[in-house]
Amino acid sequence: MRKSDKKIENTIRRVLTEVCEQLKENVAGFEWLTHKVDYNNVNQTLTVTLMFDSFASLRSAKATLKTNDMAKDVASALAKQGIELKNITKQCHFDTDERNGQ
């Protein structure tokens, strides 16, 4: 990993950690998030996956459009650091680690 890549990664990690802590306090069932990125094309390849504790919590967040707000929060926080997500709906994913159930 190049020095510039480490700098970008540290910025992303710091921003997403802050957003994660805020979302854990404000969104029922939200637990954690993770990301992946190609450092050669950060703005188009950065994807953030936001994880919920259950399918029910995720469905509820989607039904109340909370997931839209969450994606906007992620994009806004990153934008303040010069990282512009090109397509928020494709770069922010919502999931659960619940193995079965609907």
Domain membership of residue 102 (yes or no) is no
Cα(38)–Cα(13) distance, integer angstroms: 14
CATH number at residue 13: 3.30.300
Residue 52 belongs to domain spanning: 3-96
Beta strand spans in the chain (E)? 30-36, 47-52, 92-96
Domain membership of residue 38 (yes or no) is yes
pTM of the model: 0.92
Domain membership of residue 78 (yes or no) is yes
What integer pLDDT is reported at residue 100 of this predicted model? 54
Number of domains observed in the structure of the chain: 1
Domain membership of residue 18 (yes or no) is yes
Domain membership of residue 101 (yes or no) is no
Task: Give the model confidence (pLDDT) of 39-86 as tens digits.
Answer: 999 999 999 999 999 999 999 999 999 999 999 999 999 999 999 999
What integer pLDDT is reported at residue 4 of this predicted model? 92
